[in-house]
Amino acid sequence: MNKAIIGKKLGMTQVFLNDGTMVPVTVIQAGPCTVTQVKTQERDGYDAIQLGFEEIAERKLNKPQLGHLKASKVAVRHMHEFKLEGSALQVGQTVECDVFAAGDFVDVTGVTKGHGFSGVIKRWNQHRLKETHGVGPVHREVGSMGPISSPSRVMPGKNLPGHYGVEQVTVLNLSVVKVDKERGVLLVKGAVPGAKNSIVYVRNAVKK
């Protein structure tokens, strides 16, 4: 069965397994999420479930948002759609973290940290130039841009300075180490993209 939930990345810590192995984990506040819309093959052309996360005051939403959420009887800050085929969820139902279990494999999607305008060493992990006489004050610059005679231009794909980060990234096949229903959190092995308190989307692994 396909499963998914919206969560918030709280940070990283470590846990110890029964055999004493230390495992680095990311703590994700997963849900509770409310089903705000159900899309079907007959009406919309595909099957999907829209979940809402983090309830807020109705005065913080505009009229179109309130109209959209009227059927689910909630006011939420974040909404996201998951293509869950064969799901039995209905509008207004609640999805909590216990939809997953320890040992499950999940894919986690988030937006990476922003680093602003970065040079090629930080952005592309390039080496710096030699610190010798004759190199000049360009020790951290791009380096060769290509041949000067032909084609006399910078080829597409050249690693250059620019905006680094703030990209949607999905990490595949992460193992769920523990599910704490009382606190509403998932402990997922390894790191997931995003800064602390950023929104992440967790669903069952599609390639496992």
What are 173-189's pLDDT values in tens digits?
Answer: 999 998 888 888 999 99
pLDDT confidence band for 1 (50 / 70 / 90): low
pLDDT confidence band for 27 (50 / 70 / 90): very high
- Which of these CATH numbers, 2.40.30.10, 3.40.50.1820, 3.40.50.920, 2.102.10.10, describes 4-115+167-204? 2.40.30.10
Residue 149's pLDDT is: 86
pLDDT confidence band for 68 (50 / 70 / 90): confident
Instruction: Write down the pTM of the prediction.
Output: 0.84
Question: Which whole number is the average pLDDT over 33-45?
Answer: 87
Q: Which run of H or of E encompasses 120?
A: helix 120-124
Q: Average pLDDT of the chain?
A: 89
Residue 137's pLDDT is: 85
Residue 31 or residue 158, greater confidence:
158
- In angstroms, the CA 80 to CA 127 distance is 40
Residue 87's pLDDT is: 75
Tell whether the model's pLDDT for residue 108 goes beyond 60: yes
- In angstroms, the CA 35 to CA 82 distance is 11
Name, in order, each residue with C-beta under 8 angstroms of 61's C-beta and a sequence gap of 6 or more.
69, 75
Amino acid at 60: K
Tell whether the model's pLDDT for residue 88 goes beyond 60: yes
Question: Which whole number is the average pLDDT over 74-99?
Answer: 84
Residue 65's pLDDT is: 87
CB 75 within 8 A of CB 60: yes
* Structural domain boundaries in the chain: 4-115+167-204, 117-165
pLDDT digits (tens, 9 = 90+) for 110-161: 999 999 999 999 999 999 988 888 888 888 988 888 888 888 899 999 999 9
